[in-house]
């Protein structure tokens, strides 16, 4: 697993961690706060929301190093992996993370795009499913565009939901 250790000087993580007053206000997690791991984290919008709800983020995967650096501005943790999710094994997190959260790339399903859905190389929903299968969290939250719910893409969504149900999750 890759851990972000060095970035361009303007995005230096050590400097970011030393800076004061850069974190957004949020509810401090209690010692018993449920944990999250953010997949396709981007700059961390989902993590910010979960932190505000009292969750503690214990890690993230984001292939765009600039987004990963922005994520670290508000969530200065050690376990941010700046690599393609297909290169990451999540088995070591089994029974250690309460909730997997994430927003797989939406371009394959966006109504404004070519709509190749599951045939698009950017379709990484199966990787989200794999992470959930390897970690077996108590719950997961996967966010995507409404275009995933219409036309032939809806049949694909139903297959994904069935795969989550086959893992023992109640999905809606």
Would you say 138 and 170 are in contact if contact means Cβ atoms under 8 Å apart?
Answer: no
Q: Which of 23, 57, 67, 106 is catalytic?
A: 106
Alpha carbon of 70 to those of 55, 59, 64, 131: distances in Å? 19, 14, 10, 23
Q: Is 106 a catalytic residue?
A: yes
Burial string for 130-141 (b: 16+ CB within 10 Å, else e) reads: bbbebbbbeebe
- Tokens standing for residue 57: 């983020």
Residue 18's CB is within 10 A of a number of other CB atoms, namely 10
Pairing of strands 80-81, 99-102: unpaired
- Tokens standing for residue 122: 């950017």
Active centre residues (catalytic): 106
């Amino acid at each position: 697993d890759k851990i972000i250790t060095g970035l361009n000087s303007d995005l230096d993580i050590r400097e970011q961690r030393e800076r004061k007053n850069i974190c957004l206000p949020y509810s401090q997690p209690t010692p018993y706060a449920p944990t999250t791991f953010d997949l396709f984290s981007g700059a961390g919008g989902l993590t910010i929301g979960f932190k505000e709800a009292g969750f503690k983020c214990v890690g993230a995967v984001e292939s765009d190093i600039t987004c990963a650096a922005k994520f670290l501005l508000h969530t200065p943790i050690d376990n941010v992996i700046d690599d393609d999710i297909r290169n990451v094994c999540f088995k070591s997190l089994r029974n250690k993370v309460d909730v997997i959260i994430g927003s797989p790339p939406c371009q394959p399903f966006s109504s404004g795009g070519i709509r190749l859905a599951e045939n698009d190389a950017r379709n990484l929903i199966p990787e989200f499913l794999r992470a959930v299968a390897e970690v077996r969290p108590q719950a997961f939250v996967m966010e995507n565009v409404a275009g995933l719910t219409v036309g032939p893409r809806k049949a694909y969504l139903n297959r994904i939901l069935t795969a989550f149900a086959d893992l023992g999750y109640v999905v809606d």
